[in-house]
Homo-oligomer: A and B are copies of this chain.
Amino acid sequence: MVLGELKKEIKGLLSQKRWEHTLRVVSASFELISCLQIEIEANKVETAALLHDCAKDLPLGEQLKKAGYFGIVLTSSDLLCPKTLHGRVGAGIVQHEFGIVDADIIQAVALHTTGGPRMSPLAKIIFVADYIEPGRSFPGVEKLRLLAKKELNGAVLACMEQTLLYLLQRGDFIHPRMIAARNYILAAEDYTLV
């Protein structure tokens, strides 16, 4: 599917508000890879960014049905954190409905809500871009934007920290995959294995 067609299809799946957010994630992703001088094929970046929220506007019941159809196994953590589910369900849609086979794109969509161990540079870019795109406004976002232009792993960790502090403060569930993702990056930085 060429990008023009893909855009049209995705726009049809999303609310106007979500579509505008999606376009901002596309731009933010390109800005990040340019500042960080990371080489990723432009087509992959745009496809992943366009698709990242493709499941988000589906009602939860629909998401669960699709998860079942795609053979996605849900853990108790997924059930406690249903807002994270549209990442993995979205990745199923990317694979099975859009016929995309690129593993980096599929992973970037799957992990944009929680992160995960062994994130590719593309997955990290989409994760951060989604967090700091210009439509976001929360205390500290400007600091994150500056950091993101300099240090990708540091930015992923800082976004996760912000999320974790927010969830702790609210007494809300935390998805253990975010913890595993954070540990993985901390360990990789320690051992310079990235």
Contact = CB atoms under 8 A, between A and B. Distances in A.
Q: Which secondary structure characterizes the binding site on chain A? A: helix
A76 B76 CA distance: 20
A83 to B, nearest CB: 14
Interface in A135-194: 157, 161, 164-165, 168, 171-176, 179-180, 182-183, 186-187
A176 B178 CA distance: 9
Contacts of A165: 165, 168
Nearest to A169: B161
Contacts of A34: none
Interface residues of A, number: 21
A182 to B, nearest CB: 7
B180 A176 contact: yes
A3 interface: no
Nearest to A79: B187
Q: How many copies of this chain does one complex carry?
A: 2
A182 B175 CA distance: 11
A77 interface: yes
A38 B186 CA distance: 41
B168 A174 contact: no
Contacts of A74: none
A161 B176 CA distance: 15
A187 B172 CA distance: 9
Interface of A: 76-77, 80, 117, 157, 161, 164-165, 168, 171-176, 179-180, 182-183, 186-187
Closest 8 CB pairs of A and B: A176-B176, A176-B179, A173-B183, A174-B179, A179-B179, A80-B183, A161-B168, A80-B187
Given A76-B117, A80-B186, A176-B179, 10 more contacts: A77-B183, A80-B183, A157-B171, A164-B164, A165-B168, A173-B183, A173-B187, A174-B183, A175-B179, A176-B176
